[in-house]
């Protein structure tokens, strides 16, 4: 897709969501993206989008799980996605990460990377990290070893025997330990961490790979109130440095972290705006919040 076509598509997308989304989207960080110049090897965000989906469709045995889905995300934005069970949230993430191929539609990472031309590992190495609902850390390894391993895996280090972190990598690891609130648990076995700490460690492992876009599926499910509050803090710290797409059912958490909330229903965007705007939307009340 050429940048011109992309502009045209983005304009149509904006028009479609105009009643609630236009002003909000600008304040979500898009304006900053327009002035940035892309350099080789980087994701081109000169058109103000890190992720762009247009008219995406997926059917499973004739059932339309994703139905002309269009949405875009600005660089550095923290976008919350809500919606009733079966709305298509997981399927959308599966499409972005290459796990599921859509029947039709457009999925771009920045202005130039057509994600539909890439497989799952390629998409991960392009800078899209995904965190599933259940924590998947290496329980028999320490917090430090888990983070180190995430870096090795990302760098494709075959033999770990002679791998040594360089000073920049060590600094990065220390910074991430601080960000995920685990600097006091460096030598603890991951298996001995609390559920919330395991979730933070896995987020740290993704951060070691320096993703441009992070997709997080129900990150606070099963967390204590205190862990949920610290996760909200963590996400607000990550916002701006990374783009985040957070699928969550916990409305208190959404209220703490959200700018723009997208409501998915029946595989399409039903509404988009601030949480107050979407919660006041009759269609949302009917299909989701009122249930
Ligand atoms: N591989 C599949 N085969 C058949 N149907 C599927 C498949 N994957 C998803 N679906 C269906 O597509 C619809 C969307 O599912 P999806 O898991 O994306 O919803 P969701 O919004 O993530 O729901 P939840 O909040 O419950 O996780 C559901 O009706 C689901 O049953």
CA 60 to ligand 1: nearest atom: 4
Per the model's pLDDT, the better-predicted residue between 160 and 56 turns out to be: 56
Mean pLDDT value of segment 236-264: 95
pLDDT digits (tens, 9 = 90+) for 3-12: 454 555 555 5
* Closest to 269 (Cα-Cα) out of 18, 92, 71: 71
- In this model, does residue 167 exceed pLDDT 60? yes
How far, in Å, is the centroid of ligand 1 from the Cα of 86?
5
Q: How far apart are CA 77 and CA 80, in angstroms?
A: 10
* Closest to 262 (Cα-Cα) out of 277, 270, 272: 272
How far, in Å, is the centroid of ligand 1 from the Cα of 20?
27
Interacting residues of 159 by C-beta distance below 8 A, sequence separation 6+: none
How far, in Å, is the centroid of ligand 1 from the Cα of 132?
15
pLDDT at 225: 95
Mutate to test the pocket of ligand 1, among 61, 90, 254 (most ligand atoms within 8 A of CB): 90
Residue nearest to atom 24 of ligand 1 (CA): 85
Mean pLDDT value of segment 167-174: 87
pLDDT band at 33 (very low <50, low <70, confident <90, very high): very low
pLDDT at 18: 43
Mean pLDDT value of segment 230-244: 96
Q: Which residues of 168-182 are buried (b: 16+ CB within 10 A; e: fewer)?
A: ebeebbeebbebbbb
Which domains are present in the chain? 3-136+211-289 (3.40.50.300)
pLDDT at 135: 77
- Per-residue HEC secondary structure of the chain comes to CCHHHHHHHHHHHHHHCHHHHHHHHHHHHHHHHHCCCCCCCCCCCCCCCCEEEEEEEEEECCEEEEEEEEEEECCCCEEEEECCCCCCHHHHHHHHCCCCCCCEEEEEECCCEEHHHCCHHHHHHHCEEEECCCCCCCCCCEHHHHHHHHHHHHHCCCCCCCCCCCHHHHHHHHHHHHHCCCHHHCCCEHHHCCHHHHHHHHHHHHHHCCCCEEEEECCCCCCCHHHHHHHHHHHHHHECCEEEEEECCCHHHHHHHCCEEEEEECCEEEEEECHHHHHCCHHHHHHHHCC
* Closest to 56 (Cα-Cα) out of 100, 15, 110: 100
- In this model, does residue 14 exceed pLDDT 90? no
How far, in Å, is the centroid of ligand 1 from the Cα of 270?
17
pLDDT at 5: 47
pLDDT at 181: 94
* Closest to 235 (Cα-Cα) out of 141, 131, 139, 135: 131
Mutate to test the pocket of ligand 1, among 60, 249, 265 (most ligand atoms within 8 A of CB): 60
Q: Report ipTM (2 d.p.).
A: 0.95
pLDDT at 30: 37
Mean pLDDT value of segment 69-91: 95
CA 94 to ligand 1: nearest atom: 18
- In this model, does residue 291 exceed pLDDT 80? no
* Closest to 198 (Cα-Cα) out of 233, 232, 222: 222
Beta carbons of 40 and 60 less than 8 angstroms apart: no
How far, in Å, is the centroid of ligand 1 from the Cα of 91?
6
Mean pLDDT value of segment 99-106: 97
Q: How far apart are CA 166 and CA 1, in angstroms?
A: 39
Residue nearest to atom 27 of ligand 1 (CA): 85
- Beta-sheet pairing, 213-217 with 243-247: parallel
How far, in Å, is the centroid of ligand 1 from the Cα of 65?
7
What mean pLDDT, rounded, does the chain reach?
85
pLDDT digits (tens, 9 = 90+) for 48-70: 899 999 999 999 999 999 999 99
Q: How far apart are CA 41 and CA 39, in angstroms?
A: 6
Percent of the chain topping pLDDT 70: 81
* Pocket-forming residues, ligand 1, beta carbon under 6 Å: 60, 65, 83, 85-91
Q: C-alpha angle with apex 124: 123 to 128, nearest 5 degrees?
A: 90
Beta carbons of 182 and 199 less than 8 angstroms apart: no
pLDDT at 287: 84
Structure-token match 């220390």, residue found: 174
Q: 272 φ, ψ to 5°?
A: -155, 140
Percent of the chain topping pLDDT 90: 69
pLDDT digits (tens, 9 = 90+) for 177-226: 999 999 999 999 999 999 999 999 999 999 999 999 999 999 999 999 99
Mean pLDDT value of segment 134-159: 82
pLDDT at 162: 55
């Amino acid at each position: 897709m050429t940048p011109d076509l992309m502009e045209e598509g983005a304009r149509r997308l904006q028009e479609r969501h105009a009643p609630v989304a236009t002003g909000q989207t600008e304040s979500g960080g898009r304006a900053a993206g327009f002035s940035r110049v892309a350099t080789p090897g980087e994701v081109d965000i000169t058109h103000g989008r890190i992720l762009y989906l247009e008219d995406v469709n997926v059917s499973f045995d004739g059932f339309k799980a994703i139905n002309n889905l269009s949405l875009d995300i600005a660089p550095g934005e923290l976008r919350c996605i809500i919606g009733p069970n079966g709305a298509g949230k997981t399927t959308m993430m599966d499409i972005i990460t290459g796990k599921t191929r859509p029947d039709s539609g457009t999925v771009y990472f920045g202005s130039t990377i057509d994600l539909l031309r890439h497989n799952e590992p390629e998409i991960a190495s392009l800078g899209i990290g995904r965190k599933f609902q259940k924590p998947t850390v290496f329980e028999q390894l320490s917090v430090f070893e888990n983070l180190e391993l995430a870096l090795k895996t990302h760098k494709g280090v075959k033999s770990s025997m002679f791998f040594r972190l360089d000073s920049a990598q060590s600094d990065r690891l220390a910074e991430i330990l601080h960000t995920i609130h685990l600097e006091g648990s460096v030598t603890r076995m991951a298996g001995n961490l609390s559920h919330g700490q395991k979730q933070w460690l896995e987020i740290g492992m993704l951060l070691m790979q320096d993703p441009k876009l992070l997709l997080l599926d129900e990150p606070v499910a099963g967390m204590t109130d205190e862990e949920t509050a610290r996760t909200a803090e963590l996400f607000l710290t990550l916002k701006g440095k990374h783009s985040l797409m957070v699928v969550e059912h916990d409305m208190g958490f959404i209220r703490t972290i959200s700018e723009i909330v997208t409501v998915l229903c029946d595989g399409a965007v039903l509404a988009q705006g601030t949480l107050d705007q979407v919660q006041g939307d009759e269609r949302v009340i009917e299909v989701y919040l009122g249930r």
